[in-house]
Amino acid sequence: MRLVFLGAPGAGKGTQAKRLEAEKGWPVVATGDLLRAAIAQNTPLGQQAQAYIQRGELVPDALVNQIVAERISQLESFILDGYPRNLAQAQMLESILTKPLDAVIFFEIQEEALIERLSGRRICPECNAVYHIKNNPSKAGDQCDQCGATLVTREDDQPDAIRRRFQVYREQTEPLVAYYRERGLLRTINADAPPDEVYQQLLSVL
C-alpha cells in the first residue's frame, strides 16, 4: 500500500500513521524524521540540509525531494506523512514513483477545532509525554503522570501561532486536495473526531 496523508498541522496524521504502521507494517515516511536522520548520520544530503538549518533557512524543495526519493526507493509500501507539502513536491513525487499511489487520505478539520485541539495540548519537557487539558488530562493537574515534571505549552501551540501555521497550510498544501481529487486518489475523513473513531474511518476508506 502506497499512501499520502494530507491535512493541516495537528489534524492527527502522525498519530494515525503510526497506528497503521504498527498494525499493518507499512513504514511511515515523515520528512522531519528523514532530515534529522540524514543529519545525524552525516550523509551528503544531511550535510547540505544542516547547512540550511544552521543559517535559519528552510530546507529547499529540491533537497527534501532527494531525501524522500532515496528513502521510498527502498520501500514497497509506505505512508507519506507531511509530504508532499505543495504542488511542486507532488509533481516530483509522481515522477519518481515506480508504482502509482493507492490513495491520498485527507484529514479534514476546521481551523477553530484545530485551535481548540492544539492550544489544549500540554507537553512534558522531560519525557515528552503528551496530554490534553480536555481529551487526555494529566491526573496530577499541571504535572506529568509519568515523571512529575511541570507540563508546558509549546510555542507553536499558542492560538496566534496555530493560525499562522494554518494560513501557510492553506496557501501551500490545501491546493493538493483538488490536485489529488482530479486524479481520483482523494479519500476524505473527518479528523475532528476521537482518535479511535478517526482510525475506524481510515480503515473503512482503505
Conformation bin of residue 57: beta by default, left when phi > 0, alpha when psi is -120 to 50: beta
Annotated catalytic, 85? yes
- Contact criterion met (CB below 8 Å) for 77 and 1: yes
Q: Is 117 a catalytic residue?
A: no
Catalytic residue among 2, 13, 117, 122: 13
- Could you say which of 154, 163, 164, 183 is catalytic? 154
Q: Where are the beta strands (DSSP E) in the chain?
A: 2-7, 28-30, 78-81, 103-108, 121-123, 130-132, 186-190
Per-residue burial over 36-61, b = 16 or more CB atoms within 10 Å of its CB, e = otherwise: eebbeeeeebbebbbeeeeeeeebee
122 is catalytic: no
Residue 86: what are its φ and ψ, rounded to 5°? -155, 175
112 and 59 Cβ atoms separated by less than 8 Å: no
Q: Are strands 2-7 and 78-81 parallel, antiparallel or unpaired?
A: parallel
Scored b (16 or more CB within 10 A) or e, 178-194 reads ebbeeeebbbbbebbee
Question: Can you say whether the dihedral through the CA atoms of 12, 130, 35, 26 is positive or negative?
Answer: negative
Catalytic residue among 2, 19, 71, 121: 121
Residues assigned a catalytic role: 13, 85, 121, 154, 165
